Amino acid sequence: MRFFLFPALYLLAALSMSAPGRPAMAGGNSATQVGVRSVQADFIQEKHLQILAQPLLSQGRFLFKAPDSLRWEYTSPFHSILLMDKGRVKKFIEKNGRMVADTGMPMNGMQVVMTEISGWLNGHITGNATFSVKRKGKIIILTPKNQGMRAIISSIELRLGDQAGLLQSVTIVEDPERKSFTRMVFSHALLNQPIDEHLFSRP
């Protein structure tokens, strides 16, 4: 369960990188330099697996506030929330009408992931020891350098939107044959709008 949070957190990091002034991808500009103070967006997620006749669909809302506050909320088909508030990570799942903390993942693992993500949020892309970065037009491809991680994630593809600073979609490819992948398509995105602080600390 060590990798429980990987997909969502990679996406969070990826989304925050989609700020205006894309040099952050190549030149290592920080999020502050490219002007990202906050991002809000709805998302629809498709999960594709070799065994599935039809993909699994879920949807929710994503919030990010610089430098390190995140809220990743699934509203359908079940309600769960992943929070990061000033580096502290919590996860909640709705049970019997109440949001209950999910402690299935060891907190140590979560801290490790967050350390990685914090670096991305601060724009340390080119200096990242974890991923190599390639760009093909509006698509940015992140490939794990570590063979162990490649067993989990083959690549991450970020498709930039027409509007500067926002992503159209993120695809996490889990196997080289591309039979198993997760695609998130964003909509109703808002850049640098105020977000209530408590949304990052409470479910």
Residues that bind another protein (CB under 8 A): 1-8, 45, 47, 49-54, 56, 58, 72, 74, 77-78, 80, 82, 93, 95, 102-105, 151-152, 172, 174-175, 180, 182
Q: Judged by CB, which is closer to another protein: 49, or 133?
A: 49
Give the shortest CB-8-to-another protein separation in angstroms: 4
Query: How far apart (Å, rounded) are the C-alpha atoms in residues 184 and 127?
Result: 26
Give the shortest CB-99-to-another protein separation in angstroms: 13
Q: Judged by CB, which is closer to another protein: 12, or 121?
A: 12
Helix-strand-coil split of the chain, %, nearest 5: 20, 40, 40
Q: Judged by CB, which is closer to another protein: 95, or 134?
A: 95
Give the shortest CB-27-to-another protein separation in angstroms: 30
Classify residue 128 as exposed, middle or buried by CB count within 10 Å of its CB (0-12, 13-18, 19+).
middle
The beta strands (E) that lie in the chain are given as 38-48, 56-65, 69-76, 80-85, 88-95, 98-101, 131-136, 139-144, 155-160, 167-173, 181-191
Give the shortest CB-82-to-another protein separation in angstroms: 7
